[in-house]
Amino acid sequence: MKQLLMLFVFIGYTALSLSIAQRIQLGGKVLSQANYQSLPGASVQLLKTKATGVTDEEGHFFLDRISVGQYDLVVRYAGYLTVKKRLFLSGDTTITILLIPFATDLDEVTVDAQHTDFADKPLSSLASLSAQQLRSIPSIGGEHDVARILTLTPGVKADNEANAGLFVRGGTSDQNLFLLDNVPLYKNSHFFGFLSPFNSDIIRQADLYRGGFPARFGGRLSSVLDVRLKSASMEAVRLQGSVGVLSSRLSVEVPLIKDKVSVLLAGRRSYFDVFTRLFTGSGTTSGPDYHFYDLNGKLAAQLGKHSRLHLFYYQDRDRLQAGAKNDQENFRYDQRWTSGITGLSLTTLFNKQLSNELEAHTSNYALTQQTTQIQQGIGTVYNFANSIRTKTVRNTIEYTPVSSYKLRLGASGTVYGFQPGNLTFSDNQTTVNKSVDSTGITEVSGFLENEWETSMLKMNAGLRYATYSTTDQHHYSFLEPRLMVAYKITPITSLVVTYSRMNQPIHLLTNPGFGIPVDLWFPSKSNIRPQSSQLVSIAYHKTIAPTARSPLALSAEAYYKTLQQIITYRDGYSSQDFTTSKQNATRKWEDIMAVGQGKSYGIELLLQKKQGRLTGWLGYTLSWTKHQFDALNQGRAFFARHDRRHDLSIVSLYQISKRWSINGTWIYQTGQAITLPQAVYSQTDYNFLTNRFSSNAPVLVAYGERNSYRMKATHRMDVSFQRKTTHRWGVGQIDISVYNLYNRQNPYFYYLAPGNRVKAVSLLTVIPSLSYTVNIYTGTK
Amino acid sequence: MKHPLLVLLSSLILGCTREQVIENISFPQAENKVAVYCLLTPGDSIFASLKTLKSISALTQDSTESVTTAQIILQNSQTKKQAVLRYLGHDGLYGCSQQELPVVTGHQYTLVTYIPSINTPLQASCTVPGRAANIETFTYGLPYHDGAYERRRYSLSWRDVSDRSITYNYAIVFHYAFPVTDGGGSRIITGESLYINEGFEKATDYVYYAGDCPDTHLTQTVHLLTMDSNLFRFYALADNMYKGVRRGGTNDFFGAYQGVMPEFTNIENGFGVFGAYLRTEKDIIIQ
């Protein structure tokens, strides 16, 4: 502990010493000429000097240690014409740069140029996606899903082809921290896991950290998906909409007070229920009736010159209903997955060096099930609910004494409230309440983050301290050191080393098999410790043919991760043992879960072409993920279900003309690890009324080594054609996509069919889709 | 009654599924083990069945071979009285009379089985439940048509004798009889169904069971089994395994299980179950 404090003091002292060498400064803001929206992530460079920078989230940049003289300033941003401007600098200067978008580019306000290149960022283990990339990669049903696209990057896998859940470097889907405008989201999918909850039309930037976690992030083991939504235009009303096969989206940006207050409203809704109603006859059944929607609202207010207020709201719901009804009986099933976020943040810029962000937010998730059965005379109703609700207050100070050093300091408090299992049953005779007591966790945490950058070295060294106090009076405390060091070996090669320690006080139990997702959140308690992990990685980056018109970026990264206190269901148990009222079903969640450990290690390769008509990347991961639970597989270690030895993704984007482009992806994955029965034995049918065994003998099965089989390998090609259109009122994009072009039967699960034949079930065939997205703007262009 | 709903949900998810047989799966060789089944109930003879474990393959028939050369010794742990079960000459069945070894409520029994081809003896123990629960109330609803037959919902209740708040280990065996008229003429079809996992609820000291039965106006008999915990667990997991594995798990969309379905056994060094139960019954006539 003392050594760590010494390290931070040393880093701070060194950085402040460097500030003595500063000369004059150049600062400013980069805006889109189309709507005066700030452009975060734009590259700013003074030619023939070492002064380079990137605009922050408000479009600001800041260059210092510049000598007096004449310079050429170059500002680049994908989707915009590059600006080159000659400046004579004799003293500290502030300027505004307006960039002109390509005439037909739909993404003029949302492209995040810096983040289109995830390979060559000195921050290793980070994948960033821009809105432009989101819309370029082939969709399924018109949905350009951010989580699905991230599974095309090295180290990130989906559980199976019908699932948008992320499995990052051997971690499970609950170990991902999904942040929506810095607020955690506990529901990570729509449509039974098929889509992520993020509306791609309003995403400004999505960063997935799979290692080298900055100290400001905590509470999950394996990844942080930091999704930032765009702020509404302060200048003009903008309307964006999209009609697809699965759902439609609409977003509107309204400046309420010019240059002061604006509001963004966005919504998305599926229409499976409309289709199913069309096909539902007048018989005794209704449904199934399924839909999802999500709503986003964001109010931005400029308070004076130095403060900005954001009020953010998110709500979503998935609902599945089914039933059977006639004159004599009525049977209905109703399951809902809901989540909601309310966030408020106040950012104050005291001066160029010091800023403060104060945030308060709530986030909640609930799963509810209701089964109603009414048959003449006797009715029964089952209700089940599992929910989590959090309230957080956080403050972050950012201090940049010199351009080469940044200090972040923050503290937060979070109250978690859980209702693990509210279960009631009632009929004409009785009402049975089998609910377990509500419980919770109080988290208090603080962090310190140092970013230090020289021409040869970039370092982010941080420390996070978190305490978790459970309802049953147990306290857990963790010190989490974080480190990322990037060293530039030559102008075209660099080496990056990271270390992270993470802890997670909440646990998600996910059913091991196929079915409607019933994911249950549970808190840590005295006999269930928080999950924890340690991750080290080393990466090598190289630019190949740097002088060519289209250089290639190569990166190779090796990682090793250990996982402790991870959970899964005990053999034979599923959510039904907690959500239904089976005889002898336990009401202690620790009785249905097994606690164990795991490790994951591998090598990730990425070759990326970022310029020219043809762009894209080739990603390959060679990895191993093993778990060990005392209660499973007789205590022996076994490959995790999401262990994939080989994982290859090829993504190509080809710009045929200004308006037309063709894009394709091809993926290959080693098959999923599964367990198959190894033997059968006769149950020997017994008649309880006569106390006699009969010659009838239904068989039972005995299993062998857990996950010792592999399903068939998964591979698939998706393609899309896109055409951009220009109109007086705005721009549009037609998207024609084909999912699974050559109709590969990728296995979703295996089962043992009669005759002891193993059968594979595949879900998704070739799926063509068409979507049309428009972006309408009014006022100043 | 759940089936229409399950079909609906299946249609949602399986609407676009395809299946294919995976050829050339190489299943591992099974261990040389034997499944022993021996169930005790007071006032009756004791029987045991021994079957071998068989490696799975596409050629495996759904039956396994009998063991005919075993020596099975049962002992009452309280009275120390013991009996050797004789081979009955068919289907791997062994037995002894109640005079040779009476089954007494509340007593513990041990079983030891020697099999020539297996070095280690198979061992188990169980305790006969101390008291039997008795059905106290029976109610039923109005008739409805389930698509094939007229049926009625019915509900039973009994005082819980387990003295435990969570585990109470009951099963219902419904003996049904209903008339059928078809090309083969008119006749009464009879049979039994075991219900063990679902339909049971407990409030304070009473357990409630809800089910449905044919609306035949014939006398039906409901048998209530009060089981020891091993026997209950074996049959409950066997029921789960049947639904989750042998049917392919496709009937269970509320949390279907395609993972490892553990085989429960209390037979040390083997498979199967050594358990005990008490049985009471109630005749029901739906007017």
- Is A50's pLDDT higher than 90? no
Query: What confidence tens digit (pLDDT) does each residue in B13-45 have?
Result: 444 567 777 777 777 677 788 999 999 999 999
Q: How far is B107 from chain A (nearest CA, A)?
A: 19
Please name the member of B25, B206, B249 whose beta carbon is closest to the beta carbon of A513: B249
Most A CBs within 10 A among B31, B137, B261, hence the mutation to make, goes to B261
**β partners of residue A319:** A291, A336
Give residue A328's pLDDT. Answer: 64
Where is mean pLDDT largest: A33-42, A103-112, A625-634? A625-634
Length of chain A: 781
* Cross-chain CB nearest to B25 (options A518, A680, A758): A758
The one-letter amino acid code at A488 reads K
**In whole angstroms, what is the distance from residue B147 CA to residue A284 CA?**
10
Q: What is the dihedral of CA B1, B4, B5, B7, to 10 degrees?
A: 140
Please name the member of A430, A574, A632 whose beta carbon is closest to the beta carbon of B203.
A430
- HSE of A666, CA atoms in CB hemisphere, 13 A: 4
CA of B147 vs chain A CAs: smallest distance (Å): 10
Measured distance CA(A291)–CA(A730) in Å, rounded: 30
Q: Model confidence over B112-147: pLDDT tens digits?
A: 999 998 989 999 999 999 999 999 999 888 887 766
SS3 for A635? helix
Closest CA to A360 of A413, A438, A323, A409: A413
Do the chains contact at B260 and A706, CB–CB below 8 Å?
yes
Contacts of A512 in chain B (CB under 8 A): 257-259
pTM assigned to the model? 0.81
The angle subtended at Cα B229 by Cα B223 and Cα B233, nearest 5°, is 85
**Average confidence (pLDDT) over A606-611:** 87
Which residues 214-273 of chain B have a CB within 8 Å of chain A? 223, 225, 232, 236-238, 240-242, 244-246, 248-250, 252-263, 271-272
Residue B4 has pLDDT above 70, yes or no: no
Query: Chain B residues with CB inside 8 Å of A642's CB?
Result: none
Nearest CB neighbour to A430, from listed B37, B208, B277? B208
Residue A585 near residue A579, CB atoms below 8 Å: no
Q: B70 CA to chain A: closest CA distance, Å?
A: 17
Count of residues in chain B: 287
Tokens of A687: 């008649």
Mark yes or no for CB contact A687/B256 under 8 Å. no
Cβ <8 Å between B8 and A584: no
If one compares A285 and A298, the residue with the highest pLDDT of the two is: A298
- Please say whether the dihedral angle defined by the alpha carbons of residues A664, A668, A669 and A671, taken in this order, is positive or negative: positive
What pLDDT, on a 0 to 100 scale, did the predictor assign at position B142?
A: 80
**Of residues A256 and A93, which shows the higher confidence score?**
A256
Q: What is the pLDDT of residue B267?
A: 94
Lowest mean pLDDT among A121-125, B150-154, B203-207: A121-125
What does the alpha-carbon distance between residue A384 and residue A424 come to, in Å, rounded to a whole number?
A: 7
ipTM of the complex: 0.88
Residues of B in contact with A686 (CB under 8 A): 37, 39, 49
Structure tokens at A744: 């590969």
Which of the residue ranges A249-263, A356-370, A716-730 would you say has the lowest mean pLDDT? Answer: A716-730
| Structure tokens that stand for A620 in this block | 């390959």
Residues 6+ apart with CB under 8 A from B259: A512, A513, A569, A571, A675
Residue A675 confidence class, pLDDT cut points 50, 70, 90:
confident
Residues of chain A with pLDDT > 70: what percent?
A: 87
Q: What is the mean pLDDT of residues A272-290?
A: 64
Q: What is the pLDDT, as a whole number, of residue B107?
A: 96
Q: Which of A375, A576, A677 sits opposite B255 (nearest CB)?
A: A576
| Interchain CB distance below 8 Å, A328 and B260 | no
pLDDT at B186: 85
Higher pLDDT, B96 or A2: B96
Return the higher-pLDDT residue of B282 and A698. B282
- Beta carbons within 8 Å of A278's beta carbon, 6+ residues apart: none
Write the pLDDT tens digit of every residue in B42-91: 999 999 999 888 887 755 565 678 899 999 999 999 999 999 999 998 88
- Check if B138 contacts A (Cβ < 8 Å): no
Q: What mean pLDDT do residues A520-531 have?
A: 92
Q: What is the pLDDT of residues A186-222, one digit of tens each?
A: 988 888 777 888 988 888 888 999 999 999 999 999 9
Q: Are A733 and A772 in contact (CB under 8 A)?
A: yes
* CA-closest candidate to residue A690, choices B191, B218, B101, B268: B191
Per-residue model confidence (pLDDT) at position B268: 93
To the nearest whole Å, the CA of A294 is away from the closest chain B CA by 22
Question: Which residue has 């029994």 as its token pair?
Answer: B109
- Cβ under 8 Å to A: B residues 98-127: none
Is a pLDDT exceeding 60 seen at residue B251?
no
Distance from CA of B103 to the nearest CA of A (A): 13
pLDDT class for A651, splitting at 50, 70, 90? Answer: very high
- The Cα–Cα gap between A415 and A530 comes to 16
Shortest Cα–Cα distance, A152 to chain B (Å): 24
Q: How far apart are CA B170 and CA A477, in angstroms?
A: 45
Q: pLDDT tier at B238 (50, 70, 90 boundaries)?
A: confident
